[in-house]
Chain A
Amino acid sequence: MDTTKTHEEWLREMEEKSRAKQKTFIGGISSKLRRPMVDDAPPHPFRGSPDFWNAYEWNEQERINRFTDNFVSVGGHVQRLETMEEVRGFITDKANELSAKYIVRQNEPELAGLNLEDELPDARISVWNTDPEQHWKARSAEADIGVVMVDYAAAYTSSMVVLSSKDKGRSVSLLPTVLIAIIPVERIKTRLGEVMVQFDESGRANLPAGIHFISGPSRSSDIENDLTIGVHGPGVVYALIVG
């Protein structure tokens, strides 16, 4: 390795190589396909799901029921709550029940409004990315409970979708032992596709770095096809449907 180069210089060199190679690599594909490189978007008549599926929709109660059934069937827990007051009560009870010493939560106004710090004076509660000196990944790894707001949900597969940002760490839904995810009821769609098309519509430049669909607790069947829960990600997941 040439240590006299700065890393930036090295990356630039690699980029130049890559751009040169791109021409031959992709040109090779065109010639294998026996035609010149296509510049215009080819018509794609089969884009996305079949029409009958795109028309498929459940009403709100059905969405809640199906989400709940699916999520429970894969080992998750669901609570149907009316207000954020009830959410506060649930989290407080759960934290006490589990003797949680350390909780990490996303930096979102709905979560700030829960005032967990007042409710749980014995627990250390930290708010994601509020202190540049903190090692936030390590903080999340120590946490007993992670608390997040869910951006979207899809009832058909019981998936909760969380997007990353400055205030929303990917680690918060991943590293703690227990995950508590709050789903405002109006964010529950019927199909995965209803969520996915929004990413097409918003376009590349507006996508966050991490988009995560979470459909239950971490699991593995790698040992004798015997199901184990909580292999790397949270083994206990609560979905709180509110509103």
Chain B
Amino acid sequence: MSHGPGTAGGATVKERADLALNNEFLRKAVKFTTERLKNGKLKAMEEHGNWEEWRERGRQIRLHTIAHLDYYLNMFVENARANGVHVHFAETAQEAVDISLSIAERKSAKSVVKSKSMVSEELHLNHALESIGVEAIETDLGEYIIQLAGEVPSHIIIPAIHKNRFQIADLLSEDAGEKLEADTKILAGYVRRRLRAKFLEADIGMTGCNFAIAETGSMVLFENEGNARMVTTLPKTQITLMGMERIIPSWADLEVMATLLPRSATGQKLTMYMSGITGPRRAEDADGPDEMHIIIVDNGRSLQLGDPEFQELLNCIRCGACLNACPVYRHIGGHAYGGTYSGPIGAVLTPSLQKNIAEWDDIANASSLCGACYEACPVKIPLHDMLVYLRRRKVEAGYGNKIENAGMKGFATLLSKSGRFNTVIKLGKIGQKFISRGGEIRLKVGPLAGWNTYRVTPTLPKKSFRQQWGTLDAEIRNGLQEMSPDIKKRMEHAIKDRAKGGGHGHGHN
């Protein structure tokens, strides 16, 4: 798998995670911020109310749009063209890079100011621009910091979540050529002054796209700093990179997304700025770009279309709520995932976008399948189920781990017959005689090594439940209690209810 520069070293998720786990500062920083964002979201959900209804509405709008993506994308393209936008299509990352570079060359651009775009991270566009001598400047404060550090974002919403202010002060001091104090105000003030000049002199402004409105051909950006407004207001040329699934039908639908996205991302009612850009500046306007390009990028997205197990991935609105809810992300941070997208969404999206079966298992294994991501998702994407589907596809494609393959075959053989299960328990009891002390096993070797590094393993009791059952059952039947009519009625009612289709347990199906 290709990872960008600055990605934590290590070839596997496990190796990268181990590096992260040994980085006390990183763990503390990630934990602190994700907890704050998560609590902010919970508070915002409660304050707004009816969250489940909003979530369901968001999901339905996304499902509908993706199910008719050809229709809505076409409509968006026609309307954007009518607004005077130059629309381009890129099936691959390389095509998107080529189009961006040819615009930059055509404009003889010296510098490009960029506002946050995850698609741009997918394309590794900054390096491509630099390779033709165009300076690419990230202008989101967090993105600017990690660009100086030569790293990639480790969180969708808070890219520099893994850096503390002393590390940031060092980076910015080097940039400034003078010592800056590790004070947030001073550091942010420096970046404001430094980038103000860059905005005014840049030839091209480059943005991502949160949503694209099909009916009016408008593209919508959510942000807090004002840099995306700068990028779409000051340079003479604007290039917008847009994942082909960013579409929603109408402005009315935007209200639902505007309700879900900021609350889920940061707990805000709305980001400080939300801009709807409909084409380049009108002839009589005195600001806004003269020329506007939108590059619609596939780069692996269509692999999920028409795949019933993964199509819902395209519903993602990139809020980062699943990262903040994920206990694994909290401990290992974003770089351990090794791709552009991290956390639960990254664990599913990275292999799905790359269609890289051999790499699937590694990332998909970095989850305890606890379902916190699904619960946090504002459009209800069943990420925990998708992780299992990825694991299954890897096994079916013949990329399973050899030891595990053998183990699972044995598992099925042993556990599809209760008699064999009994034999296993008996063997276990013989085996544990050699390693247990005082009803516990503390030995850190073989298959118990990982487990027993953190825990003590209980030993098997003298008799399993099934071995005790005969005696227990006889004793119970001996002193049998009469069932009360009320309980009987309730049980009969439950059976009747079931026949009518009344279920229980509210999974996501």
On A, residues with C-beta under 8 Å from B are 1, 7, 10-11, 14-15, 17-18, 21-22, 25-30, 32-34, 37-39, 41-42, 44-50, 52-53, 70, 74, 128-129, 136-138, 140-141, 156-159, 164-166, 169-171, 174, 191-193, 196-197, 199-200, 203-205, 207-226, 228, 230-234
Contacts and interface: CB of A to CB of B under 8 A. Distances in A.
Contacts of A230: 188, 192
Given A1-B106, A10-B106, A141-B200, A26 B73 contact: yes
B288 interface: yes
Nearest to A28: B302
A22 B401 CA distance: 42
B251 A159 contact: no
A14 B86 contact: yes
Contacts of B77: 22, 26
B252 A207 contact: no
Interface of B: 29, 32-33, 36, 50, 53-54, 57, 60-61, 64, 67-71, 73-74, 77, 79, 82-83, 86-89, 91, 102, 105-106, 139-142, 145, 158-160, 164-165, 168, 184-185, 187-188, 191-192, 195-196, 199-200, 215-218, 224-227, 229-230, 232-234, 244, 249-256, 258-259, 266, 268-282, 284-288, 296, 298, 302, 305-306
Given A170-B233, A213-B275, A47 B250 contact: yes
A171 B287 contact: yes
Contact of B87 (A18, A192, A220): A18
B252 A33 contact: no
B249 A47 contact: yes
B282 A225 contact: no
The 3 closest A-B pairs by CB, nearest first: A233-B226, A48-B252, A222-B142
A159 B255 CA distance: 13
Contacts of A223: 141-142, 145, 160, 165, 168, 184, 187-188
A181 B68 CA distance: 41
A234 B33 CA distance: 25
15 contacts: A21-B89, A28-B302, A29-B302, A50-B57, A70-B269, A170-B287, A174-B233, A193-B255, A211-B218, A211-B277, A212-B275, A214-B272, A220-B188, A222-B141, A222-B159
Contacts of B305: 29, 32-33
B501 to A, nearest CB: 23
Contact of A204 (B54, B79, B282): B79
B60 A46 contact: yes
A199 B87 CA distance: 22
Contact of B71 (A42, A166, A217): A42
A197 to B, nearest CB: 5
A49 B234 CA distance: 34
Contacts of A166: 282, 284-286
A199 B276 contact: yes
Contacts of B57: 46, 49-50
A215 B68 contact: no
B224 A208 contact: no
B139 A225 contact: no
Given A200-B216, A222-B140, A232-B229, 16 more contacts: A25-B244, A26-B73, A32-B302, A42-B68, A48-B250, A166-B282, A174-B229, A192-B258, A193-B255, A209-B282, A209-B288, A212-B229, A215-B269, A215-B272, A222-B141, A232-B192
Q: Which of A28, A165, A224, A228 has the most CB of B within 10 A?
A: A224
Contacts of B86: 11, 14-15, 18
Given A192-B255, A209-B282, A210-B288, A219 B272 contact: yes
Contacts of B256: 48-49
Contacts of A42: 64, 67-68, 71
